[in-house]
Amino acid sequence: MSRFPQTRLRRLRQTPAVRQLVRETTLRPEQLVLPMFVREGLTEASPIGSMPGVAQHSMDSLRAAAVEAAEAGVGGVMLFGIPAERDARGSAADAPHGILNLATEALVAEVGDALVVQTDLCLDEFTDHGHCGVLAPDGSVDNDATLERYTSMALAQARAGSHLLGLSGMMDGQVAVIRQALDAEGFTDTLLLAYAAKYASAFYGPFREAVDSQLKGDRRTYQLDPGNRREGVREAVVDEAEGADIVMVKPAMAFLDVLREVRDTVHVPVWAYQVSGEYAMIEAAAANGWIDRRAAVLESLLSIRRAGADAVLTYWAPEVARWLDD
């Protein structure tokens, strides 16, 4: 019997051409979605300190960045609006001339034929208390009163031309009521992305700066406990049954086990959000020379795809798309 190995797995790794030919998981520009922030009253882009390379946009800089993303070949953009004035019910969220709805109209006209224009459907950017819904007298988030506000937001965003609504508020029943309202108004083709397994995560910190969050306290009564895997899968199953076209796991890298199980359970596309904290950690480590930035960015995205994500929301979308094209 030979003392040498019979099975030589290294044969599949011997050259770049062989490695590319047998690669199990791939990354393409159209699998990437760029989150973008537009702030009312800005005349030029304003850099976000905790997210190097990311900015709050004016309407003009938003258009320019969206055109750049479309030219890079990314699959879509997800818009977040930051109003000049906030109140307890988030009135600017569904105002026809609110910043998010105006920005949606502008981008649909500018790049709507080239990529999927998506809008965040949540109240946290628009409320003076920073929560994702309407507050009850005792200070808790009133689920059903919030659903009424979400319904109004959904119709406003659909009328502005949004191709896909990102339901990120984590209210029970949000997919069902919004789907029913959209269909009743004739918006049967508007896609619904359910942030199904959205966890109360420490990795959202830089995002709070990005949207100038007014939040006091936390969102643990409606976002998922990070210790719960099965509950995240259950949320995705419920959202699929209520009519979600796509479900999402958020954050991505700390919840790859949830992502894999959701992908194995539901029958709709599954996306993941590589959130602000994930972005900021890699940027900070790279800036200090501790890691190879490009290699780490690509590996992080590949790991999310490998775990089962059909598409990834990432702040690196245009840059990575250009790398992949090169």
Predicted pLDDT of residue 1: 60
Distance separating alpha carbons of residues 79 and 106, to the nearest angstrom: 11
Domains and CATH numbers, the chain: 27-325 (3.20.20.70)
- The answer to whether 198 is a known catalytic residue is yes
Predicted pLDDT of residue 169: 96
Mean pLDDT throughout 193-213? 92
The catalytically annotated residue of 198, 219, 263, 305 is 198
Hey, what are 28's tokens? 């393409």
Chain-centroid distance, C-alpha 52:
18
- The answer to whether 250 is a known catalytic residue is yes
Distance separating alpha carbons of residues 30 and 75, to the nearest angstrom: 4
Distance separating alpha carbons of residues 144 and 123, to the nearest angstrom: 14
Predicted pLDDT of residue 60: 98
The catalytically annotated residue of 149, 250, 263, 305 is 250
Predicted pLDDT of residue 213: 85
Predicted pLDDT of residue 48: 96
151-160 confidence digits (pLDDT tens): 999 999 999 9
Q: CA-CA distances (angstroms) from residue 43 to 19, 84, 125, 182, 306?
A: 48, 13, 20, 34, 40
Hey, what are 292's tokens? 């190879």
Predicted pLDDT of residue 146: 97
What percent of the chain has a predicted confidence (pLDDT) above 90?
Answer: 93
99-153 confidence digits (pLDDT tens): 999 999 999 999 999 999 999 999 999 999 999 999 999 999 999 999 999 999 9
Mean pLDDT throughout 12-22? 96
Distance separating alpha carbons of residues 189 and 93, to the nearest angstrom: 22
Mean pLDDT throughout 186-193? 98
Peptide bond into 251 cis (omega under 30): yes
- Mean pLDDT value across the chain: 96
59-73 confidence digits (pLDDT tens): 999 999 999 999 999
134 neighbors 88 (Cβ within 8 angstroms): yes
Q: Is 238 exposed, middle or buried (0-12, 13-18, 19+ CB in 10 A)?
A: middle
Mean pLDDT throughout 188-208? 95
Per-residue confidence band for 216, with pLDDT thresholds at 50, 70 and 90? confident
1/191: higher pLDDT: 191
